[in-house]
Structures are given as structure tokens and as C-alpha cells.
């Protein structure tokens, strides 16, 4: 029933992870030698998806698969396009601020899309009576 | 009162199931049907539809419950994930409720046709 | 796990670091004429040194593989550059040749640093606001 919602959920996860990475860049604007990171999307999948199996939890206290994955939703890469400053720091506040704004807008939009999808499903599930 | 009871979905033999879980649904013996044994559900029949919807709803409600508790306890920080699980539970529950209503309506219509 | 709260923690560490920088700048500007300190000798300007530190939620240390790190003020370093010598034989802190060593604080440099720190602080606040906004829209899912 919710197959349309799952890729949207993955998009939300990706944008939230990216927000973390960008926030980290902004925080490090004055750290000498810091090179800003960014997150690019990866095709939904990975090792477990390729195998087509999910990790089984045989004990309540075992970790849930993916709990310690770095960023299963994206690949970290360095974005040095802003150029280097005197202290070896490559962070440009303007560029990071622009990325932050765009990323937040995308998250908000996907969130609204998810809500709309759920509303449709809810309408259908309630026998077209809302 | 579990959400399933609140939605008006009957819990048969509640002493067999743990709290919040549905005990097996016995078959409805309707007109013109041979009395089947317990657990011998015709997969193409109405009972299967209801049972399937209710089981799925139950699972999703448990998942939503678990997600909410994990978030409230601070063990996970996933806001949109938790909200999604809760919404899904709401939708599944409504779906199961409507399937049940439709099945009961159909049954009573058939019942009235007896005479 | 990377989420709203880790993003807030990261931004907060940046804000804290910039605040330390502002404090050192304030100290430098206040002591621009301090020719004698407790250790003897003129005031030496202070500089915070920032470093990246892995997040440690729930005891697990993310060594930066997921591209994020906190800002840690590892130390506040005294600038060892010599100050300016001014010929003031009447000053009690004058040396044998009659020169007084003034602190190595350059007011213009400090003002520029102050503006940069202030801008960085504002950017951190913007970062926090945008994450809060994201959390609010997540809460609207299914409402």
C-alpha cells in the first residue's frame, strides 16, 4: 500500500543527513585546514539491497541493521570549489548558506509531497469518504 | 483498550492473544457454505480479506507504537520516520475498519436474501 | 545517528567556538595598552585554535567518515610576535634603552576578526533556524 511513500522517506533521510554535513561546514568556517564536505545521492541500495535480504535480528538487544552505517543515504565528497583562504580553510559562508537554504526547501517540499500522498491513501482507505 | 477494539474490530478469544494482538479469527459460517474447521480459511473469501487487513493493521500499529516509544525514550531521533509510521498506522486501521464494514454489509445483504 | 538533534549540536559547537573567539578579541582590544602583566612583560594577544572533533552520540565515535564533526577549541594560544617598541624613557616599564614594549595587538586586525566572527556566528544561527524549520515540516506529515 505504501510503496510510493518509501522512496520519499529515503529522500527525507538524505536531505536531513546533508543538512548535518552542511551545518558542520558552517561551524568549521574558522577551523584551519578544514575542507568542506557535501553529500551526493547514491542509488537506493547498497550491500543488503543487492543481496535482497534484510539483516535478521535474533535478539532484542542486537543492533538494528543500518544503525552504525555512516550515511547509508549518501556519499560524502569534498567540495573545494570555493577556493582556499589564508589558513588553509576552503569554506565559503555564502556558498554554504545557499546550499543550506536549497536543501531545506527540498526537505520541506518532499515532506509536503509525502503528506499529500498519505492524504490520498487515507481518502481511499476511508472508502472515499475522507 | 487496544486501538483495534476502539475501531470496533472484534477481538475473538482475547485470552489467547497478548495485549494489543489479535487472536485468530474463526471463520464465518454463512449460508450455503460447508462448516470449515478453525484455521481453514478460503483464501478467496471475504474472511481472508478481513483477516489480512486486520493483521496488517495490527502489525503497523505495533510498529508505530514501537517507533513512538523509542522516540519518546530518546533512543532514536527520527522525526519524519516516526510521523510516517504513525500516519501509516492511521491509514491501515481505517482501511481495515472499512474492509470489515463492507464485509459485514455484504454478509447481511446475503443474509436478508435468504427468505 | 544523523538527524535534527545532531545538526543542532554541530551548529551549537560552531556558535560556542565563535563566542570564544569574540571573547579573545574583546580581551585583546581591552588590553591594547597593557605594558605589564602578572608574568612580567607586555600583554600578548590571544588567538583561539579550532579543531574538528568527531561526534559522539551515545558513546559511539563517528570519526568524520560521515562528513560531520564538531568544532572544538583545543587551546587559546598566545601570539608570540614581538610588540611595538615605543621610546618612552619616563615610563616605569621602560627597558634599559628607554623603550617600552607595547602589546602586539593591532586594533584594525582585531576589528576585522570581530566582523568575521560575527558573520560566522550569524551563519550558525541561520543553520539552526533552517534545521528547526525542517523539523517543523516533518511534524506536519500526516496532519
- The C-alpha angle A31, A36, A38, rounded to 5 degrees, equals 150
Q: What is the pLDDT of residues C67-110, one digit of tens each?
A: 889 999 999 999 999 999 999 998 898 888 999 999 999 999 99
Q: What is the pLDDT of residues C23-41, one digit of tens each?
A: 999 999 999 999 999 888 8
Range of the domain at B91: 44-115
Could you state, in chain order, the average pLDDT of each consecutive group of 10 residues for chain A (130 residues)?
Answer: 88 94 94 91 59 53 45 80 87 94 95 93 82
Domain boundaries, chain A: 5-125
Residue A75: per-residue pLDDT: 87
Sign of CA dihedral C8, C10, C13, C18: negative
Compute the nearest-CA separation of A52 from chain C (Å): 24
Compute the nearest-CA separation of B37 from chain A (Å): 31
Cα separation of the two ends of chain C: 25
Quote the cell numbers at residue C49: 585554535
Q: Under DSSP, is residue C127 helix (H, G, I), strand (E, B) or coil? A: helix
Which has the closest alpha carbon to A5: A124, A130, A119? Answer: A119
Domain boundaries, chain C: 4-139
Using CA atoms, how far apart are residues C115 and B55, in angstroms rounded to an integer?
62
User: Residue holding cell 527540498?
Assistant: A106
pTM of the model: 0.77
Residue B65: per-residue pLDDT: 94
B32 in any annotated domain = no
* CB-based contact, A118 to chain C, within 8 Å: yes
Which has the closest alpha carbon to A12: A102, A116, A100, A110? Answer: A110
Exposure pattern of C103-141 as b/e (b: 16+ CB <10 Å)? bbbeeeebeebbebbeebbebbebbbebbeebbebbeeb
Sign of CA dihedral A112, A117, A119, A122: negative
The partner residue sitting opposite A126, judged by closest CB among B84, B87, B98, is B98
How many beta-carbon pairs below 8 A join chains A and B?
36
Q: How far is CA C41 from CA A25, B37, C29, C32, C59, in A?
A: 39, 99, 17, 13, 45
- Partner-chain contact C126 A17, CB within 8 Å: no
B37 in any annotated domain = no
B71 in any annotated domain = yes
ipTM (interface pTM) = 0.86
Amino acid at each position: 500500500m505504501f510503496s510510493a511513500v518509501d522512496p520519499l522517506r529515503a529522500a527525507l533521510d538524505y536531505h536531513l543527513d546533508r543538512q548535518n554535513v552542511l551545518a558542520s561546514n558552517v561551524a568549521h568556517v574558522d577551523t584551519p585546514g578544514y575542507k568542506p564536505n557535501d553529500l551526493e545521492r547514491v542509488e537506493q541500495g547498497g550491500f543488503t539491497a543487492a543481496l535482497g535480504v534484510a539483516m535478521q535480528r535474533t535478539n532484542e538487544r542486537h543492533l538494528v541493521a543500518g544503525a552504525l552505517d555512516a550515511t547509508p543515504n549518501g556519499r560524502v565528497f569534498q567540495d573545494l570549489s570555493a577556493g582556499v583562504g589564508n589558513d588553509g580553510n576552503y569554506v565559503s559562508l555564502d556558498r554554504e548558506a545557499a546550499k543550506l537554504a536549497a536543501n531545506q526547501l527540498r526537505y520541506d517540499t518532499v515532506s509536503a509531497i509525502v503528506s499529500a500522498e498519505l492524504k490520498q491513501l487515507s481518502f481511499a482507505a476511508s472508502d472515499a469518504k475522507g | 483498550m487496544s486501538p483495534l477494539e476502539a475501531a470496533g474490530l472484534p477481538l475473538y478469544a482475547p485470552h489467547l492473544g497478548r495485549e494489543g494482538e489479535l487472536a485468530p479469527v474463526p471463520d464465518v459460517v454463512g449460508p450455503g457454505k460447508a462448516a470449515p474447521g478453525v484455521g481453514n480459511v478460503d483464501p478467496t473469501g471475504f474472511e481472508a480479506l478481513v483477516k489480512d487487513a486486520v493483521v496488517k493493521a495490527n502489525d503497523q500499529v505495533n510498529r508505530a507504537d514501537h517507533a513512538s516509544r523509542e522516540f519518546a525514550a530518546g533512543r532514536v531521533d527520527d522525526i519524519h520516520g516516526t510521523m510516517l509510521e504513525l500516519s501509516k498506522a492511521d491509514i491501515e486501521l481505517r482501511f481495515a475498519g472499512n474492509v470489515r464494514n463492507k464485509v459485514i454489509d455484504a454478509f447481511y445483504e446475503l443474509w436478508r436474501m435468504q427468505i | 545517528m544523523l538527524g535534527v538533534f545532531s545538526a543542532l549540536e554541530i551548529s551549537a559547537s560552531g556558535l560556542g567556538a565563535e563566542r570564544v573567539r569574540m571573547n579573545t578579541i574583546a580581551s585583546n582590544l581591552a588590553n591594547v595598552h597593557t605594558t605589564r602583566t602578572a608574568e612580567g612583560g607586555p600583554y600578548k594577544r590571544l588567538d583561539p585554535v579550532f579543531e574538528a572533533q568527531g561526534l559522539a552520540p551515545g558513546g559511539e565515535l563517528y570519526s568524520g567518515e560521515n562528513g560531520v564533526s564538531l568544532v572544538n577549541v583545543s587551546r587559546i594560544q598566545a601570539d608570540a610576535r614581538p610588540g611595538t617598541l615605543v621610546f618612552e624613557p619616563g615610563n616605569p616599564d621602560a627597558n634599559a634603552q628607554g623603550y617600552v614594549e607595547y602589546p602586539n595587538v593591532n586594533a584594525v586586525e582585531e576589528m576585522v576578526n570581530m566582523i568575521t566572527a560575527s558573520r560566522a556566528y550569524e551563519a550558525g544561527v541561520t543553520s539552526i533556524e533552517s534545521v528547526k524549520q525542517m523539523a517543523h515540516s516533518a511534524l506536519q506529515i500526516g496532519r
